[in-house]
């Protein structure tokens, strides 16, 4: 069912390992008439028959999570029931029944629905949760946990008002259920997992983080999301002492960090983080923070500082003396700094570190507005360009 995008290498971007989709294929989709310069969206959104070729999305990934195929190689599973009556014995047709299966599945929804989860939704490997074409909210209960699995795509959902849950039995596969301690109340928690892509979701107002990735998670792309009304937005790295996160690589691209956000966009530990072509229109404390010597490569973003004269700095080194953080590799390249915003760089610019924190070619910051204008869950309708 999937047209595999032919990959060519653009010499201008080879140094960052960025692959570019076959331009001939894009012309067929009207690329030049509806393209925004956002390489993910321009790969699939221009096709009015997107609904008949949903799995094309899996070939449109970028960044460190670009190889996340989700349920591309499996069948479709249609969620028909918004209920979550029994987290140990979920009914067929529910989202929980879909995500725990062992085989690859591309999960879609029959109609608009609000899903209030009793306990964490434990997603198994090789799953895509695809909310395009309907209006799906996961809200007012537990939310999504991606733990010790691989190849997961979460796309097109509204996830908000997530609550701490736990001290309960929850099923994680058809053959296993177990006791879950208290969960923090993240919108999406990525724990010891790899090849994860979180794209075009609207995330807000949860008890802990909106997207947290910890405990050795890596090969992650967080893209095209609209994040609002939240304090500690995104934590990448478990703790200063958890050195396994030194291998973590995360791409944060084309997101809109919007109104009502306070801090951690993201807050990084240890690993390698490519923050590229995002729109930061609101923060109250700071945008990008870190500790434990993370490498942060900020390229082509638009940072608009708040009015507060004491919150103009984009960056924050958390609980660390300058004598320690001055050697950390944090750089700003081509970022647009507005309303007095300033980025405090550090480090000697070690090329090897930045090579590990580079995952695609950055576009000009002047394009950020168009590339992020449709961040969040899209109002896709069949028979029309999405």
Rounded Cα distance between 272 and 255, Å, is 18
Residue 383 has pLDDT above 80, yes or no: yes
Which pLDDT score, from 0 to 100, does residue 308 have?
A: 98
Q: Which residue has the higher pLDDT, 18 or 363?
A: 363
Q: Is 306 helix (H, G, I), strand (E, B) or coil?
A: coil
In what helix (H) or strand (E) does residue 369 lie, and over which residues does it extend? helix 368-372
Q: Which residues are catalytic?
A: 264
From the CB of residue 141, how many other CB atoms can be counted at a distance below 10 Å? 18
Residue-averaged pLDDT of the chain: 93
| C-beta of residue 291 within 8 angstroms of C-beta of residue 313 | no
In what helix (H) or strand (E) does residue 276 lie, and over which residues does it extend? strand 272-276
Name the band, by pLDDT with cuts 50, 70 and 90, for residue 364.
Answer: very high
From the CB of residue 366, how many other CB atoms can be counted at a distance below 10 Å? 11
Residue 25 has pLDDT above 80, yes or no: no
| C-beta of residue 277 within 8 angstroms of C-beta of residue 363 | yes
Give the range among 149-158, 187-196, 374-383 with minimum mean pLDDT: 374-383
* Strand-pair category, 272-276 with 302-304: unpaired
Which pLDDT score, from 0 to 100, does residue 78 have?
A: 99
Name the burial class of residue 90, with classes exposed (0-12), middle (13-18) and buried (19+) by CB atoms within 10 angstroms of its CB.
buried
Average pLDDT over residues 340-349: 95
Bridge partner residues of 76 (DSSP): 106
Residues in Cβ contact with 176 at an 8 Å cutoff, skipping those fewer than 6 apart: none
Predicted confidence (pLDDT) per residue in 287-298, tens digit: 999 999 999 999
Which pLDDT score, from 0 to 100, does residue 350 have?
A: 74
Decide which of 3.40.50.300, 2.102.10.10, 2.30.29.30, 2.160.20.10 is the CATH code for 61-372.
2.160.20.10
Token pair for residue 308? 């507060």
Residue 103's nearest CA partner among 147, 72, 137 is 72
Query: Per-residue DSSP letters for 132-176?
Result: TTS-EEEESSB-EEEES-EEEEEES-EEE------SEEEEEETTE
Residue 131's nearest CA partner among 63, 232, 224 is 224
The 8-class DSSP code of residue 96 comes to H
Which pLDDT score, from 0 to 100, does residue 3 have?
A: 38
Which pLDDT score, from 0 to 100, does residue 15 have?
A: 37
pTM of the model: 0.92
Query: Per-residue DSSP letters for 323-362?
Result: HHHTTS-EEEES-EEETT-B---BS---HHHHHHT--SPP
Predicted confidence (pLDDT) per residue in 98-152, tens digit: 999 999 999 999 999 999 999 999 999 999 999 999 999 999 999 999 999 999 9
Name the band, by pLDDT with cuts 50, 70 and 90, for residue 20.
Answer: very low
| C-beta of residue 234 within 8 angstroms of C-beta of residue 262 | no
The residue extents of the domains of the chain are 61-372
Which pLDDT score, from 0 to 100, does residue 382 have?
A: 84
Name the band, by pLDDT with cuts 50, 70 and 90, for residue 340.
Answer: very high
225-249 core/surface letters (b: 16 or more CB in 10 A; e: else): bbbbbbbbbbbbbbeeeeebbbebb
Name the band, by pLDDT with cuts 50, 70 and 90, for residue 1.
Answer: very low
Predicted confidence (pLDDT) per residue in 202-257, tens digit: 999 999 999 999 999 999 999 999 999 999 999 999 999 999 999 999 999 999 99
| C-beta of residue 73 within 8 angstroms of C-beta of residue 94 | no
CA neighbours within 13 Å on the CB side: how many for 253? 31
Residues in Cβ contact with 161 at an 8 Å cutoff, skipping those fewer than 6 apart: 139, 140, 204, 205, 206
Give the range among 183-192, 315-324, 345-354 with minimum mean pLDDT: 345-354
């Amino acid at each position: 069912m999937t047209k595999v995008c032919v990959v060519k290498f653009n010499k201008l971007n080879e140094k960052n390992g960025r692959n570019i989709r076959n331009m001939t294929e894009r012309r067929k989709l009207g690329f030049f008439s509806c393209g925004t310069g956002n390489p993910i969206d321009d790969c699939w959104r221009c096709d009015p028959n997107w609904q008949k070729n949903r799995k094309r999305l899996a070939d449109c990934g970028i960044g460190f999570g670009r190889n996340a195929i989700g349920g591309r190689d499996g069948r479709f599973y249609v969620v028909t029931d918004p209920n979550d009556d029994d987290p140990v014995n979920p009914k067929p047709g529910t989202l929980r029944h879909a995500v725990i299966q062992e085989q690859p599945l591309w999960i879609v929804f029959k109609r608009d629905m609000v899903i209030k989860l009793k306990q964490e939704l434990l997603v198994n490997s090789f799953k895509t949760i695809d909310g395009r074409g309907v209006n799906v909210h996961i809200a007012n209960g537990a939310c999504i946990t991606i733990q010790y699995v691989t190849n997961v795509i979460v796309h097109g959902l509204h996830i908000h008002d997530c609550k701490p849950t736990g001290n309960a039995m929850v099923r994680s596969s058809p053959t296993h259920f177990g006791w879950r301690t208290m969960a923090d109340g993240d919108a999406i928690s990525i724990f010891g997992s790899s090849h994860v892509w979180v794209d075009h979701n609207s995330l807000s107002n949860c008890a802990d983080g909106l997207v947290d990735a910890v405990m050795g998670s890596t090969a992650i792309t967080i893209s095209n999301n609209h994040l609002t009304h939240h304090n500690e937005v995104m934590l990448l790295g478990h703790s200063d002492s958890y050195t396994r996160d030194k291998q973590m690589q995360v791409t944060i691209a084309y997101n809109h960090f919007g109104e009502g956000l306070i801090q951690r966009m993201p807050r990084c530990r240890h690993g390698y983080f490519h923050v590229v072509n995002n729109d930061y229109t609101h923060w109250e404390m700071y945008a990008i923070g870190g500790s434990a010597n993370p490498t942060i490569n900020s390229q082509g973003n638009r940072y608009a500082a708040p009015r507060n004269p004491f919150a103009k700095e984009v960056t924050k080194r958390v609980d660390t003396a300058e004598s320690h953080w001055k050697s950390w590799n944090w750089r700003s390249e081509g970022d647009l700094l507005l309303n007095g915003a300033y980025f405090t760089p550090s480090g000697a610019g070690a090329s090897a570190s930045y090579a590990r924190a580079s995952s695609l070619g950055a576009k000009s910051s002047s394009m950020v507005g168009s590339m992020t204008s449709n961040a969040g869950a899209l109002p896709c309708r069949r028979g029309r360009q999405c």
